[in-house]
Amino acid sequence: MKVFRDPAPGLVAPPGAVVTIGAYDGVHEGHRAVIEQVCSLAAARGLGTALVTFDRHPASVVRPESAPKLLCDLDQRLELLAETGIDSTLVVTFDEPRSKEPAEDFVREVLVAALDARVVVVGEDFHFGHQRRGNVALLRRMGSELGFEVVGLDLVGADHRPAVGADRVSSTAIRAALAAGDLPTATAMLGRPHEVRGVVVPGDGRARDLGFRTANLAVPDDICLPADGIYAGWYLRPDGVARPAALSLGRRPTFYDHADTSLLEAHLLGFDGELYGEAARVRFVERLREERKFGSVDDLVAQMARDCDDAAARLGRLEPGGVRRR
């Protein structure tokens, strides 16, 4: 997949492309259904495929006080998009000037001049441009003038079929499922376990004293984490090796009466090496229990041992990608 940073004339060679546009946060099953349509249309018409996305979520500029947490950062988003078979992705810098750009200018600069769009595929509820004045109707009107067709798609379910009500796949629905600790729903909508990335940093040293060394992952503040609790998951090292892990996400109420933020700790099962400073990925597979306060350290340690056994049993049935072993 070719990746272009910001529009310039002639990024896509003749005879042009089938293009889709969106934040594509999470590259979930709904997004993949749209991309399937893009690739199918392109193959039938002998055109290339192109996707337009943004370097940050537009809401972080337009309404930063209520911008959603991200399901993945830009690097992960591009990795996931590369798996879909799309030919080119154009990453548009979304800053204050871009947020004030009329929808018509975006169509001319990005869709026509840069990508030579012949077909534009978006959801029927798609909006873009200053004050979200651009929509499918505007695209169709401009398309008739500038030489591109517009295909508006309904939202779909996790099975890529048209969805109704709560079955609809969306980034918002996935965030809600994660916030509720509902991993089965989030995983089905994403098409994979939810993954977060960060650097392993020193903790307070207590886990070593308890007999369970952990890697404390510093996850960026703008990344979406699931509800506090204990999870079974995978810890992926920089070399790609995936190790089973018991994950603790929470505020450690046994030791602290109040903590401002949740801490993500991964205890790698059957591993005792040094991890400080490495860039790691953690995949949440199953929620084992909620976080709770214990009456004594001994009670906590006994429960941690049970959690590790439980995580090992559940992960032993799965591949690191979340697929059940055959």
pLDDT band at 257 (very low <50, low <70, confident <90, very high): low
Is residue 106 within 8 A of residue 112, CB to CB? The reply is no
Classify burial at 144, counting beta carbons within 10 Å of its beta carbon; exposed 0-12, middle 13-18, buried 19 or more: exposed
Residue 155 has pLDDT above 70, yes or no: no
Structural domain boundaries enclosing 215: 194-315
Instruction: Tell me the pLDDT tens digit for each residue of 77-96.
Output: 999 999 999 999 999 999 99
| Same domain? 124 vs 210 | no
* DSSP 8-state class, residue 302: H
262 belongs to a structural domain: yes
pTM of the model: 0.91
Bridge partner residues of 151 (DSSP): 121
Bridge partner residues of 286 (DSSP): 232
pLDDT band at 28 (very low <50, low <70, confident <90, very high): very high
| Same domain? 153 vs 230 | no
Q: Which one-letter amino acid corresponds to residue 81?
A: L
| Same domain? 28 vs 101 | yes
Domain with residue 131: its CATH number is 3.40.50.620
Tokens of 265: 């700790």
Is there a cis peptide before residue 184, judged by omega within 30 degrees of 0? no
| Same domain? 56 vs 120 | yes
Long-range contacts of 102-107 (CB under 8 A, 24+ apart): 102/129, 102/130, 102/133, 103/128, 103/129, 103/130, 103/133, 103/134, 103/138, 104/129, 104/134, 104/138, 104/142, 105/129, 106/134, 107/134, 107/138, 107/139, 107/142, 107/146
Helix (H, G, I), strand (E, B) or coil at 29: helix
| Same domain? 63 vs 109 | yes
d(CA 19, CA 48): 9
- Among the residue ranges 98-102, 249-253, 283-287, the one predicted with the least confidence is 249-253
